[in-house]
Amino acid sequence: MVAAGGKQKGGQKRTEGLGLTPAAKPVDSAATEEAKRKFLRIDSFEGTFDFLALEANSEAGWDGTLFPTARHALMAAQFPAAAEAIAKASSIAEARKAADGESEIDGWQGRRLQVMEKILRDKFRRSAELRKRLQETGDRDLIWDNDEDGFWGAVKGRGQNQLGRILMEIRSSIQDDTEFNQWLFVCCELEDQEVKQPPVELLETKSEDGVAETKKVHRLSGKAFFKLGKMPTSAVVALHPSISREHALLMHTRASVGRRSQGIVLVDMGSKSGTAIGDRKLPHSWLMEPLRNGDTIRLGASTRTLQVKVNLASQIALLEQQERELRREANAIDADAANPLEAAKRAAKEEATVFVGNLEFETEKADLLGLFQDCGHVEECRFPGPEGTTKAERGICFVVFDSAMAARRAVGLNGEMFKGRKVKIAPASENRREMGDKGGGKGKGKDGKDKGKGKGKKDKDGDNQKGSGKGEDSRALFSEVRAQMQAEDRSRRRSRSGSRHRSRRSPSRSQPSRNHRRGSTGGRERSRSRDGSRSAPRRSRRADVSSDRSPSRGQRRKKSARSPQSSDSSDEKAKKRKKRRD
C-alpha cells in the first residue's frame, strides 16, 4: 500500500515537474477538435481550392452557349434576356452590369437548384484536371463560408450550403464512376421515349480522285446515344490516326437545342483534332450541335465522311401501330359497354388464368394437369403457336382454371421444380384480352371477330367520336355486374360446402345409430339419474374414437371365440354398475 502510494506521489511530482497540470487537458482536447474539424472540412474556396468557387476561370455551358465562368452561366440562366451580353462580358462586374435592370425569369426560386447542378456538372465534365482535383478532396465536407449568401453557402456557420452539397454530389458520382452518365441525363436531357428516337443511318463514304464510294452503312437504333471513335465498343469504329478513342457522340435529346433537328444532336467529346458538320468545324467541345437529315460528319482529318439519313418511315410505322392499339382498346371498351355481362364473364375468366413459363418443350396438357392437381379444376391449356399446337413448343402456356381462387393457389407454386426446370407461374396480364391472344391482335380469333363495331359516329379518318359519359356509365355497370356475379359464386360455394358438411356429420334416417344398434350391452345407453333426468355416460376420448371405427377381421374372430364365462362376467359387471347407479 505504501509503495503504491509512494509511486503515485512520485508520479504526480514528475508530472508537476514537467509542467503538465490537469487543467491543461481540456484546452488541448479543444484545440485537437478544432484541428480535426478544420482537417475534415473545406470552408474556404480560395488558394488550393479556388477551383470550387463559381468565380473560378473555368468555362461552363448553358443552353447551347459557353460562358467564361460558372457565375456568368448562372446569371445568364437567371436573366435570359441579357444572356448574350453576359457571355461577352470579360469580368463578373461587367456581367452584373449587363444584367442590371433585366427581369428575372419566372419561377427562378424553384428552378435555381436544377440550373446550378447542370452548370457545375458541365463545368467539371469539360476538364479531367478539375475532376481529379475534386476527387482528391476525399470525404471532407465542402462548405462555402461567406458573408452574404446563406442559400448557396453559410454565413457565420449558418446556412443551407446548397453549392457545397451539389459539389459533394458530383464528387460522389466521380468516385462511383457514374459522372458521365449523370452528365448525359442531367445536362443533355436524353430522350427516353422510343417513339421519339427515330432510327439513324450513317452512310460511310470515301472520296478518292473526286469519286465518292460508299463503304459501309451504320444503322443506329434502340438507344438514346451512340459513341463514335476508335474504341471497339463504339457504335461507329473509325481507325484514322487523327481520331480519338472516344471522339464524338450522337444522341437523341429533349433539350431546346434539338428542336430544329427532330431531337438529333452531335457532341464533340474533347477530341484533339475536332469534329466537323459539313464544312463547319464545331467551335467548342461538350456542346450539343443540331444534326439534320442529309448532313455529313467528318471526324478529325479523315477522308471518310458519314452522311446522316433519318429513317422517318419506321417512326411513322411505330406511331401508326400505337394508333391501332389505342383504337383497338377503344373498340373493346365500346364492346364491353354494349354487352356488360359478357365483359364481366371474360374478366372473371382472365382472373382465373395464369401464365406458366420456363417449361420443357415437350410438355403437354396431361403434364400440367398433374402439376396443378391440388389447385383446382383446369378448364383449358393454351399453347402459343400455330393452330392445333398441343405442346409447349415455345416453353410457355396459359392455364385457365374454374375459379380465381384456384388460379391464386397455382401462383403459389411459382419456382417449383417441374421436369428438371424451375417453372415461373404468374397471373395473366389484366390488360390482355382474348382478341389479342387468339387472333394475334387482328380480330381473327374466336372471341374477337366482331369487336370494334362501335355504335358511335366516326369521322373521315375513322376516329371514334363517342363521348366519354357513356364509357363511364358502362364501366360502372360493368363493375356492378361483376360484383353481383362474384357474390352469387360465393353463395353457391357456401351452399355446396354446407350440404357436404351436413352429409358427413348427421346419419341418415334410414340407418339407426351405432349406439342404438348396440342396445344396453356394455352400459353404453343413456341412464336415468335419481331425479328422473337422463344423463350421458362418461366415456374416454379413446373409447369415442374406437367406437366410430368398424371392427377389424381379427377383432371379429376374437369376439366370436370368446368363452361363455367371459360373457357371464361381463353381465355381472353390468349388473354391479347398475346397482351402484341406483
- The domain that contains 161 carries what CATH number? 1.10.357.40
Given pLDDT bands bounded at 50, 70 and 90, which one contains residue 146? very high
Give dist(CA 6, CA 406) in Å, integer.
Answer: 88
Q: Is the dihedral of CA 459, 462, 465, 470 positive or negative?
A: positive
Inside any domain, residue 157: yes
Chain Cα centroid distance, residue 573: 79
Tens of pLDDT, residues 487-530? 766 666 666 565 555 555 444 444 444 444 444 444 444 444 44
- Identify the residue whose cell numbers are 421519339: 196
- Side-chain-side CA neighbours of residue 496 (13 Å): 6
Give dist(CA 301, CA 108) in Å, integer.
Answer: 44
| Number of neighbouring beta carbons within 10 Å of residue 452 | 16
DSSP letter assigned to residue 402: S
> Pick from 397, 429, 444: which residue ends a domain?
444
Inside any domain, residue 546: no
The model carries a pTM of: 0.57
Residue 547 CB contacts under 8 Å (≥ 6 apart), including other chains:
514, 515, 524, 539
Residue 339 has pLDDT above 90, yes or no: no
Q: Same domain, yes or no, for 156 and 140? A: yes
Q: Same domain, yes or no, for 178 and 199? A: no
**More confident: 462 or 156:** 156
Inside any domain, residue 333: no
- Most trustworthy range by pLDDT among 24-33, 158-167, 350-359, 399-408: 158-167
Q: Same domain, yes or no, for 56 and 176? A: yes
pLDDT given at position 28 = 62
Q: Which amino acid is at 516?
A: H
Strand partners, 268: 248
In this structure, what are the phi and psi dihedrals at residue 355, rounded to the nearest 5 degrees?
-100, 135
Q: Same domain, yes or no, for 48 and 124? A: yes
- Identify the residue whose cell numbers are 446550378: 116
State the chain's mean pLDDT as an integer. Answer: 78
Given pLDDT bands bounded at 50, 70 and 90, which one contains residue 11? very low
Chain Cα centroid distance, residue 33: 45
Q: What is the CA radius of gyration of the chain?
A: 43
Q: Same domain, yes or no, for 281 and 353? A: no
Strand partners, 201: 219, 309
Q: Same domain, yes or no, for 198 and 176? A: no
**More confident: 168 or 497:** 168
E strand spans, 368-517:
378-382, 397-401, 417-418, 421-422, 424-427
Q: Report helix angle 92-99 to 70-78, nearest 10.
A: 0
- DSSP labels for 196-249? G---EEEEEEEEETTEEEEEEEEEE-SSSEEEEESSTTSSEE---TTS-SS-EE
In this structure, the strands spanning 527-528 and 378-382 are unpaired
Q: Same domain, yes or no, for 200 and 177? A: no
Inside any domain, residue 323: no
Inside any domain, residue 36: no
In this structure, what are the phi and psi dihedrals at residue 96, rounded to the nearest 5 degrees?
-65, -35
Domain membership of residue 298 as a residue range? 194-315
Residue 205 CB contacts under 8 Å (≥ 6 apart), including other chains:
212, 213, 214, 215, 304, 305, 306, 307
Which of 307, 251, 301 has the alpha carbon at shortest distance from 275? 301
Which of 116, 63, 67 has the alpha carbon at shortest distance from 92? 67
Q: Which three cell numbers stand for residue 524?
A: 353404453
Q: Same domain, yes or no, for 240 and 295? A: yes
Poorest-confidence range of 191-195, 454-458, 569-573? 454-458
Q: Report helix angle 108-125 to 70-78, nearest 10.
A: 150
Residue 194 has pLDDT above 60, yes or no: yes
Q: Same domain, yes or no, for 180 and 202? A: no
Instruction: Please report which helix (H) or strand (E) contains residue 62, including its range.
Output: strand 60-62
Strand partners, 355: 398, 426
> Pick from 140, 155, 187: which residue ends a domain?
187
- DSSP labels for 72-98? HHHHHHH-GGGHHHHHH-SSHHHHHHH
Inside any domain, residue 380: yes
CATH number for the domain harbouring residue 367: 3.30.70.330
The tally of domains found in the chain comes to 3
Residue 126 CB contacts under 8 Å (≥ 6 apart), including other chains:
58, 59, 60, 61, 270, 285, 286
Inside any domain, residue 500: no
Please return the burial class of 356, using the count of CB atoms within 10 Å of its CB with bins 0-12, 13-18 and 19+: buried
Q: Same domain, yes or no, for 178 and 56? A: yes
Give dist(CA 512, CA 521) in Å, integer.
Answer: 16
Inside any domain, residue 6: no
Q: Same domain, yes or no, for 198 and 236? A: yes
DSSP letter assigned to residue 188: S
Given pLDDT bands bounded at 50, 70 and 90, which one contains residue 464? very low
Q: Same domain, yes or no, for 309 and 356? A: no
CATH number for the domain harbouring residue 219: 2.60.200.20
> Pick from 187, 205, 225: which residue ends a domain?
187
Provide mean pLDDT across the span 215-228: 92
**More confident: 260 or 540:** 260
CA angle 483, 487, 488 (to 5 degrees): 120
Provide mean pLDDT across the span 115-122: 96
pLDDT given at position 336 = 81
Given pLDDT bands bounded at 50, 70 and 90, which one contains residue 230? very high
Provide mean pLDDT across the span 299-316: 88
**More confident: 103 or 570:** 103
